[in-house]
Structure 1
Amino acid sequence: MPTIKSSYEGNLRTKMVHIQSGNEIITDAPLDNNGKGEAFSPTDLVAAALGSCMVTIMGIVAERDGIDLKGLKWEITKIMQSDPRKIAEVMIAFHWDKPQGSPSFQQKLKNAARTCPVALSLSPEVKQTVIFNF
């Protein structure tokens, strides 16, 4: 059974529906690639998936250890290469103003983030720069 059903909406826009939840995602081609840039681009979603996956796995580790990650925030910068056009680097900066747990627990979170399924699935050619501000 499919996980996602998708359709081309015209004008370089796609719509995807997550079958289990019914949630929708729209993508647009970016301004620098003939698009309107009115929504996430497909490569934006790759970068967002990396950050979200990292935090999800960190959350699993934290819950297991009875720690709340509330307040953890992150910023993602995607850097494109032009020839061939592809993602060259994804930079993620995590910010946690009131970190919890011991230094060894925080290291466990960092290790979990770097080994999330999306991080492990991306080509080694995609540089992953991760900064932990905690």
Structure 2
Amino acid sequence: MVKIHIEYLNDLHCKVTHGPSGQSFLTDAPLDNQGKAEYISPTDLLAASIGSCIATIMGIKAHDMGVDLEGLKIDVTKEMVHDPHRRVGKLTLEIQYPRRYDSKTQEILNNVVKICPVTRSLDPKVIFEPIFSFADEK
């Protein structure tokens, strides 16, 4: 169990402190929801959380298989909807592998997006779209 401490500071800013490490950061509401976007927003953290979770789980799987994954890049695009309440409607993940792998390794790594704990915690209404590419394709 991990404890995260959140303190509301004012002006839609919160200070978030990670219990085990003591590391802190600030959040702000986004521009389209009365904020100033001076810091990352809570829904942006969700998007970052998914991307970093997938990269971490892929890293674990790659390590277990003896595969070099250094240089993996993930860009997450978050789209908000109002239906009727404001929520994350779609997350598009552009996952760029640093190199090509054999088909079995590629399939195993691609399937990690389905087992990432953050992905599995999403409401089924959130559209989740992973797009895979390789560094030599850009």
Question: Which TM-score applies when normalising by structure 2?
Answer: 0.91
Q: Give the percent of matched residue pairs that are identical in Structure 1 and Structure 2.
A: 43
Segments of structure 2 that go 5 or more residues without pairing to the other structure are: none
Task: State the shift of 1:106 in Å.
Answer: 1.0
Kept in 2, the 8 Å contact 1:87–1:126? The answer is yes
How far, CA to CA, are the matches of 1:8 and 1:71 in structure 2?
Answer: 36
How far, CA to CA, are the matches of 2:111 and 2:90 in structure 1?
Answer: 19
* CA pair 97-69 structure 1, distance change in 2 beyond 3 A: closer
How far, CA to CA, are the matches of 1:26 and 1:128 in structure 2?
Answer: 27
Structure 2 counterpart of 1:125: 125
Structure 2 counterpart of 1:60: 60
Q: Structure 1 residue runs of 4+, over 6 Å off?
A: none
Segments of structure 1 that go 5 or more residues without pairing to the other structure are: none
Q: How does 1:28-67 map to 2 (within 5 A)?
A: 28-67=28-67
- Paired residue total: 133
How far, CA to CA, are the matches of 2:8 and 2:121 in structure 1?
Answer: 26
Structure 2 counterpart of 1:93: 94
The secondary structure found in structure 1 opposite 2:69 is coil
Question: Which TM-score applies when normalising by structure 1?
Answer: 0.94
Higher relative contact order (CA 8 A, sep 6+): 1
Task: State the shift of 1:25 in Å.
Answer: 2.1
